[in-house]
A and B are shown apart, each in its own frame.
Chain A
Amino acid sequence: MAETKERVIGIDLGTTNSCAAMVRGGRPEIIPNAEGERVTPSVVVFSDGDEVLVGQLAKRQSLLSADRAVLSVKRKMGTDWRFNVSRDGKQEAYTPEQVSAYVLQKIKRDAEDFLGGEVNRAVITVPAYFNNLQRQATKDAGKIAGLEVLRIINEPTAASLAYGLDRQQQEQTILVYDFGGGTFDASILDLGEGVFEVVASDGDTELGGDDIDQRIIDWLVDEFRSETGIDLGQDVAALQRLRDAAEGAKKELSSRMEAKISLPYLTADATGPKHLEKTLTRARLEGMIEDIIQRTMNIVDNTLEAAKKSPEDIHQVVLVGGSTRIPKVQELVSQRFTKGQVNRDINPDEVVALGAAVQAAILAGEMDEVVLLDVTPLTLSIETLGGVATPIIERNTTIPVERSKTFTTAEDYQAQVEIHVVQGERKMAQDNKSLGRFVLSDIPPAPRGTPQIDVTFSINTDGILEVTAKDKGTGKSSSITIKETSRLSQEEIERMRNEAEEHAEEDRRRAEEVEARNEADQLIYTAEKTLSDLGDKVPSAKRGEIETAIRDLKQKLESRAELSSLRSSIDTLKRAAGEVAQAAYSQGGEEAGPGGEQGGDQGGEDQGSDYIDYEKE
């Protein structure tokens, strides 16, 4: 009897939206809901019958069923507020716990569908300012929903856990700046020996991204009125389009300097249709919302004061909530906390749920088994024909790892190959760091492209790289062990990556040129071979055409002709040789085609074989 692994999840039970996550393979992941969305609106609608709608569907009809819909029940947690509604002729009164339980139930059910198993245990987050009654109510909501609540944790703590701040071996002070759709919270946490303690927390429950959208809408309405004399304030349909456009523009301005808002046929008057066409610059938006952001910074100051800390005491800043994507917010926060590291890489809408999932996994004992595995900081390659660095293990690959590729010879009767191992992101081997070379010799004489040489890169957990080259024909192998692949300093790694970025374009051109030259060389070889193999079967006119094309291509190779010119000659020869091969086939010459690429591929990454540069004495 196999014991099925029971899943534990983390839930961010929010005022507007809720979100769930779980740890898989040591990393937290968001669990999408039944509608395929990553967040679920915290809205519940009680029908007159026995149906209860939760989430997006409930939100869509919340206006129609205003007396049957519960929004923002989180604000009521821990109070004796009741939601009174008649159902099937009976008057019912729901507690905030019961209403929240419907949201949690949907999350539980959707998670079970997604994961294909029961979900019975969860960690749920609450704002740092929640009192014991509110926490207990949240826990009870979980119980009603059929969840064993392993722990109630603070949202800022969850966000810090998602960033793994608890694993840093030092005492730290953390500021969590949480600027969501409708609320703003600032919390200061002390972290010591892996335990978080909320020192101070402050906020504004009526301040968020929705206010920013409203500013943009107001601006658009004003502009439209002054241009057309039409007031859109009462036009529901137009306002809906404005709202979508405003939110879109706000989001666009997080990555661009200006956003075009274009709403053709927005409305009409006696003179005809009216269109709205506006450009909102980032500077203008920042001007519009300066006071909103300033209010958040004032709250941050109050929180610092309450915690008796100065900005210099803050080691880490964690950004939570969609509104922290606004560049101005990030700028002001970084300016205030010059000594602090600003954490903002994780999706700010999801970071709390992800952190709750981490806490759940820790409590379920799942994180103990997780060993932090290293990654290769830079790509490891070997030098192939023409000095190209051919990657075997790409950068950011988790170790231990083993990867192989099959190569072949570049010259007829080549007796040995040299394996040159390099590290770095540049396309040409010489621009990368050389880690070592070795030779595989005694390759039996064979035409080029025939021998198959497996090159295997194996990195163990200590980061030690062993490179082995093995002739598949004879089984003879040769290898080298390289110890310093991971001994690069962070600066060195950065420098090498930056260099690769700076030279990306020129490197690409050089690699392309080498590739074309290699192709030309191979093509000449096979075309000549075809001519000699087929002998008399090739009509003399065709033979002449191919020979001319070969001469032309050889000449271009020698004179190092331009890439485009080289390519056109390659195409000419390819066409001519291809026709001959085809003709030979149709005449019944079974093995008459130009020799295709030889050698299989062991690494499963590329289709053809590369040629290891032949070392001439």
Chain B
Amino acid sequence: MARMAWFKKERKPRTSERVKLEIPADAWEKCDECGHIDIKERFVRALNVCPNCGHHRRISAQEYIDFLVDEGSWHELDAGLKSVDPLKFESYPERLKLAVKKAGPLEAIRTGYARLHGMPVDLGVMDFNFMGGSMGSVVGEKIARLARRSIDKRIPLIIVSASGGARMQEGVLSLMQMAKTSGVLAEQAFWGIPFVSILTNPTTGGVSASYAMQGDVILAEPGAVIGFAGPRVIKQTIGQDLPAGFQTAEFLLEHGMVDAVVPRSELRDTTAQLLRHMAGRRPAEAAD
């Protein structure tokens, strides 16, 4: 109904007839949040943030890598790690195949090293398109290896999270990845190596209850849903609708659970700024 009304409204002026003929249909994009229609190029240039309402669309791991680190500095790590089916879980292999088709063969997280404002960094970026960014053994192993590299080379760690939580199809093995990653990150913290955690939409379940919330600094993209239990589960438990804005990045900021809500366009510079602050030079050394 609403959509019908909207079409009528737009059609009335009938001014863009000529333009429509010249611009191919796929040149236009519509914001899922506010319905704003704009040239695709404007969405792309704004890193897939709606030019009208600021809604942050979900983007792929590759897109985060492209705008977060210095051009040409990305080196992929552990690209050969692949999931197996340890529980012989019904239709897991088929789902994995579908995920590879949809998001590529690099699993629900991509890890690598790069430079950010010239500083060496280790970066992990989760990909929600790969089985909802679910954390299985491969995600745990990739993060553990990345954090290990960060310890060995004394390089700061950045993890961009996007995940519904642990991967059900790997049972308790996936649950234990929470403990596994926490173990390495505890050692990383011991050595005083900075870890910036960036939360995107959504970050829930076992991922939010482990490394995503263990950053020295935790940043969140505007509007991202962040929490332990998913909104549907909570709704079921309490038997009523959730208050507006519940479990959004802004809600977490208000309750003291994240350091800052940072628009996508500022993530790169803010992270670099933070890493410079946390470079760990003692006052005496700084004076040299």
Instruction: Verify that A and B bind, or say they do not.
Output: no
**A residues with CB within 8 A of B:** none
